[in-house]
Amino acid sequence: MSSFTTTDGTRLFYKDWGKGQPILFAHGWPLSSDAWDQQLLFFGQQGFRVIAHDRRSHGRSDQTWEGNNMDQYADDLAELIEALDLRDAILVGHSTGGGEVAHYIGRHGTARVAKVVLVGAVPPLMLQTKANPHGTPLDVFDGIRDSTAKNRSQFFYDLTVPFYGFNRDGVAGNEGLRENFRRIGLQGGIKGQYDCVHEFSEVDYTDDLKRIDRPTLIIHGDDDQIVPIAASAHRAAEMVPNATLKIYPGGSHGLAETEAERFNADVLDFIRG
């Protein structure tokens, strides 16, 4: 079990397998590095060094009362990247992890970064505002906070239905995937997960996106029911220089798991291109 202790004394769990150019994966909420297992295996077998960490208060990392905010997440990521001396790294961020990757670049630059992949990512802003009419209303996020606080186990299980698009015609259910989502989610700390809702919903990552100066692949499902594409990928692709937008017709928020073969091939082509 690999772990790294940040300067504020927080222990972060991470996986670090294989050799070659490093690919670092940042997970979504309320998950952990386990959500990337299909990618870690595939890209490790393709000759890459694969790294994925559990964000503080998620998975097997320390559950902190304070510091569950995107500034700290980005700084934790910077410390891990420096501790592992990662260079020419491919950064891959899903959902909240996309915000983490973008904010890392916004705060720490791209000296150690070769390329960026954002999938189902929250930037630039999920919250509905006058300037962001396609965003999600605040009361939806208040409901997520309330359900996390009062009925986390059932809420995480129920969340898998729109997360993976199991409520769509022709989409086969997968009870194992649903139970695994709940298992991973319940490993994390309730306080950190509660705090993190603000970070994926109300933080504006516009300035971070504009600072990305590396080739960037943005992958998003056009049927993403968690992070609607109109408020995220479409806008992000206009803000990030050298960005390529790849849309998966009918794709869900969890497409990296449900369409792993296609997703892995697209990311591999991007890395090698």
95 is catalytic: yes
> Distance between CA 53 and CA 56 in Å, rounded?
9
Which residue from 267, 165, 156 is spatially nearest to 217, judged by alpha carbons? 267
Question: Which residue out of 75, 76, 208, 224 is catalytically annotated?
Answer: 224
The two tokens of residue 30 are 């309320």
Question: Which residue out of 95, 201, 232, 252 is catalytically annotated?
Answer: 95
108 is catalytic: no
Q: Are 185 and 30 in contact (CB under 8 A)?
A: yes
The two tokens of residue 148 are 């996390």
Residues 6+ apart with CB under 8 A from 154: none
The two tokens of residue 200 are 């994926």
The secondary structure of 215-240, three-state, reads: CEEEEEECCCCCCCHHHCHHHHHHHC
238 to each of 87, 91, 263, how far by Cα in Å? 27, 19, 22
232 is catalytic: no
The two tokens of residue 194 are 């509660």
Question: Which residue out of 75, 223, 253, 266 is catalytically annotated?
Answer: 253
Q: Are 101 and 78 in contact (CB under 8 A)?
A: no
The residues annotated with a catalytic role in the active site are 95, 224, 253
